[in-house]
């Protein structure tokens, strides 16, 4: 068998994608059992461990619809690692599915490049290990895009079952996360624009297109008023923050945690800001080149469809970001499958002078960022802290634990029974873990008497405003002590653990006898 015949063997691409899928699985399983929990993950696993009736009683507390929690309940949440396996499975399945979908558009080489980029994409790796709905939603989004591209096929006209699949998948994307509606809107607008050519789409096609969209929205009605608050147009900010840093934040969503690379720390005092901005502009350039490349081929409809999906979804997320005055990179998981397809189009079919340096640069920043994520330095330390305390030598006294979150305290108490987790705290008071539920009733307004004169591990949390200096830590400790009714100076700070750029910090405190 000659070398050329080996290269042309029909099984060779599938062998390659099989190895790539196994590599993606290994990457997502790396250190999976060592990850700590944060609040949203604790909320997910607490809900999934309940019975169906008990789930429905507390699920409205979350801001997301219940589809993911139902599936996680069916998957099982007997251990934290097994529960994370659902996200790992969904994330791994997207690799071969992306190859199958992209092969028709870009050929075998372009499809393999797209799958390789998604394998090491830092955002995809990050949420593959998180006990939340984002990996599952990425899988649904990829299937939705495949369904939309199938409807654009001129070789095999679409049938009724293809439209039904589109409506069901659109409902699934929205029933997993409400912001999935932004991507669904992009899909519907993209389908319409792709059919706008020299002739207007026939009335029957328009009726089917509108009917499927209406069916997906009707399916969401049971969830729309289920613990969800909808904003009116009057609630949007009049002065949209068009500052350079805000625009960088929006662009940052396309990068997907690239700012976590070691290169991010090049140049202190703002040097990392310009690095982030340069990376974001580079990726947006690749998106533009990818659209142009597809427009120049026979895939004009597909180019219009994918570019509409990305642009409409990004614009709607931008409006939501302006109204909420906060930015979460995880929103841009919605754009990940379509963006990676356009990256691959630019890199596999673009100018030769662009291909090799661009591929090398993209692989470098994706791989370095993924390695940083897998190092675990950015992850919450609460789970590791509980493990360390629970397995201390029996001859040494174990400090009791106070966790500043009810869901996190209940989860740690469930999976680490050896740890002496006594109380969970809210903004105003303490709750004994035995009495803690998803409610603010029956709060204990004073520091427990049996903790006097003992060291206490306190796991604290926040939303981006965590202490960064010893002075800020002391101030935070004093503020928390005052909130709990402790006398001034009674709560002494002995040591602290922080998470780099993260949401949690833990401190070894002592309730000093007066």
Tell whether 323 and 448 lie within a shared domain. no
**C-alpha dist (Å) from residue 261 to 115, 267, 474, 502:** 21, 13, 31, 15
Tell whether 442 and 355 lie within a shared domain. no
243: closest CA among 314, 311, 327?
327
Contacts of 294 (CB under 8 A, 6+ apart): 105, 300, 302, 303, 306, 342, 345
Residue 182 vs residue 376, higher pLDDT: 182
Q: Are 363 and 384 in contact (CB under 8 A)?
A: no
pLDDT for the residue numbered 7: 52
Q: Which of 36-45, 221-230, 377-386, 420-429 has the lowest mean pLDDT?
A: 377-386
Mark which of 343, 374, 405 sits at the end of a domain: 374
169: closest CA among 140, 129, 146, 138?
140
Residue 450 vs residue 161, higher pLDDT: 161
Tell whether 130 and 234 lie within a shared domain. yes
Q: Are 246 and 218 in contact (CB under 8 A)?
A: no
DSSP 35: P
Tell whether 45 and 85 lie within a shared domain. yes
Which H or E element spans position 510?
A: strand 504-511
Residue 127 vs residue 284, higher pLDDT: 127
Tokens of 389: 């305390």
Contacts of 449 (CB under 8 A, 6+ apart): none
Tokens of 344: 């691959």
Tell whether 351 and 387 lie within a shared domain. no
Tell whether 358 and 389 lie within a shared domain. no
pLDDT for the residue numbered 318: 73
Mark which of 330, 348, 374 sits at the end of a domain: 374
pLDDT digits (tens, 9 = 90+) for 329-345: 677 788 889 989 988 88
**Considering the domain boundaries, does residue 5 fall inside one?**
no
**Residue written as token pair 């005055």:** 325
pLDDT digits (tens, 9 = 90+) for 169-217: 999 999 999 889 999 999 999 999 988 865 677 888 899 999 999 999 9
Tokens of 360: 């090398």
Query: Is the pLDDT assigned to residue 3 strictly greater than 70?
Result: no
Tell whether 389 and 339 lie within a shared domain. no
* 3-state secondary structure at position 421: strand
Query: Is the pLDDT assigned to residue 20 strictly greater than 90?
Result: yes
DSSP 444: B
**DSSP-assigned beta bridge partners for residue 491:** 511
**Residue written as token pair 């997320």:** 317
**Considering the domain boundaries, does residue 23 fall inside one?**
yes
**DSSP-assigned beta bridge partners for residue 423:** 402, 432
**Considering the domain boundaries, does residue 471 fall inside one?**
yes
**Can you give the C-alpha Rg of the chain in angstroms?**
25
DSSP 491: E
365: closest CA among 255, 269, 501, 251?
255
**Considering the domain boundaries, does residue 4 fall inside one?**
no
Query: Is the pLDDT assigned to residue 242 strictly greater than 50?
Result: no
Tell whether 352 and 416 lie within a shared domain. no
Tokens of 384: 């590791």
- The tally of domains found in the chain comes to 2
Query: Is the pLDDT assigned to residue 484 strictly greater than 70?
Result: no
**Considering the domain boundaries, does residue 441 fall inside one?**
yes
The residue segments making up the domain with residue 351 are 16-374
Q: Which of 167-176, 366-375, 476-485 has the lowest mean pLDDT?
A: 476-485
Q: Are 123 and 171 in contact (CB under 8 A)?
A: no
- What ranges make up the beta strands (E) of 3-141? none
Mean pLDDT value of segment 112-127: 90
Q: Are 257 and 329 in contact (CB under 8 A)?
A: yes
Average pLDDT across the chain, whole number: 73
Mean pLDDT value of segment 258-274: 43
Mark which of 374, 398, 422 sits at the end of a domain: 374
pLDDT for the residue numbered 385: 52
Query: Is the pLDDT assigned to residue 75 strictly greater than 60?
Result: yes
Tell whether 38 and 122 lie within a shared domain. yes
**Considering the domain boundaries, does residue 479 fall inside one?**
yes
Residue 477 vs residue 395, higher pLDDT: 477
* Torsion angle, alpha carbons of 73, 75, 77, 79, to 10: 180
**C-alpha dist (Å) from residue 221 to 189, 215, 224, 233, 402:** 21, 10, 5, 20, 40
- What ranges make up the beta strands (E) of 274-389? none
Residue-level length of the chain: 514
Tell whether 361 and 387 lie within a shared domain. no
Tell whether 334 and 417 lie within a shared domain. no
Contacts of 420 (CB under 8 A, 6+ apart): 389, 398, 399, 400, 401
Query: Is the pLDDT assigned to residue 148 strictly greater than 90?
Result: yes
**Considering the domain boundaries, does residue 11 fall inside one?**
no
Tell whether 389 and 364 lie within a shared domain. no
pLDDT for the residue numbered 68: 93
Query: Is the pLDDT assigned to residue 386 strictly greater than 80?
Result: no
Residue 92 vs residue 502, higher pLDDT: 92
Q: Are 509 and 491 in contact (CB under 8 A)?
A: yes
**Considering the domain boundaries, does residue 201 fall inside one?**
yes
Q: Are 84 and 136 in contact (CB under 8 A)?
A: no
């Amino acid at each position: 068998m000659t070398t050329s015949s080996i290269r042309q063997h029909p099984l060779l691409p599938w062998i390659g994608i099989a190895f790539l899928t196994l590599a993606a699985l290994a990457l997502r399983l790396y250190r999976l059992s060592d990850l700590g929990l944060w609040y949203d993950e604790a909320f997910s696993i607490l809900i999934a461990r309940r019975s169906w009736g008990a789930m429905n009683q507390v699920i409205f507390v979350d801001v997301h619809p219940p589809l993911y929690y139902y599936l996680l309940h069916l998957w099982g949440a007997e251990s934290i690692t097994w529960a994370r396996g659902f996200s790992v499975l969904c994330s791994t399945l997207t690799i071969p599915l992306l190859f199958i979908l992209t092969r028709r558009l870009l050929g075998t080489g372009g499809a393999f490049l797209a799958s390789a980029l998604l394998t090491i994409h830092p955002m995809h790796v990050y949420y593959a290990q998180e006990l939340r709905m984002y990996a599952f939603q990425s899988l649904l989004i990829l299937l939705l895009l495949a369904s939309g591209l199938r409807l654009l096929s001129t070789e095999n006209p679409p049938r009724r079952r293809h439209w039904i699949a589109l409506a069901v998948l659109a409902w699934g994307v929205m029933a997993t996360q409400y912001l999935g509606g932004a991507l669904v809107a992009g899909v519907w607008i993209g389908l319409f624009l792709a059919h706008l050519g020299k002739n207007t789409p026939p009335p029957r096609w328009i009726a089917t297109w509108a009917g499927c969209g209406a069916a997906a929205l009707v399916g969401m009605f049971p969830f729309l008023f289920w613990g969800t608050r909808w904003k009116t147009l009057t609630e949007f900010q009049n002065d949209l923050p068009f500052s350079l840093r805000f625009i960088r934040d929006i662009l940052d969503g396309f990068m997907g945690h690239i700012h976590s690379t070691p290169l991010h720390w090049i140049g202190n005092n703002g040097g990392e800001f310009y690095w982030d901005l340069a990376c974001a502009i580079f990726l947006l350039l690749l998106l533009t080149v990818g659209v142009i490349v597809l427009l120049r081929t026979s895939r004009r409809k597909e180019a219009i469809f994918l570019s509409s999906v990305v642009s409409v979804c990004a614009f709607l997320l931008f409006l939501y970001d302006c109204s909420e005055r906060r930015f979460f990179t995880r929103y841009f998981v919605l754009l990940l499958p379509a963006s990676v397809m356009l990256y691959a189009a630019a890199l596999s079919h673009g100018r030769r002078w662009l291909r090799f340096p661009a591929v090398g640069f993209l692989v470098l920043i994706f791989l370095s960022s993924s390695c940083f994520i897998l190092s675990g330095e950015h992850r919450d330390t609460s789970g590791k802290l509980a493990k360390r305390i629970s397995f201390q030598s029996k001859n040494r006294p174990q400090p009791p634990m106070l966790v500043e979150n009810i869901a996190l305290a209940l989860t740690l108490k469930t999976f680490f029974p050896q740890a002496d987790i006594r109380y969970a705290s809210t903004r105003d008071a303490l709750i004994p873990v035995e009495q803690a539920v998803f409610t603010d009733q029956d709060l204990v307004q004073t520091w427990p008497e049996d903790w006097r004169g003992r060291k206490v591990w306190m796991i604290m949390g926040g939303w981006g405003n965590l202490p960064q200096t010893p002075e800020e830590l002391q101030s935070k400790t004093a503020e928390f002590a005052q909130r709990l009714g402790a006398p001034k100076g009674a709560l002494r700070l002995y040591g602290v653990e922080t998470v780099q750029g993260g949401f949690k910090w833990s401190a070894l405190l002592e309730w000093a006898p007066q």
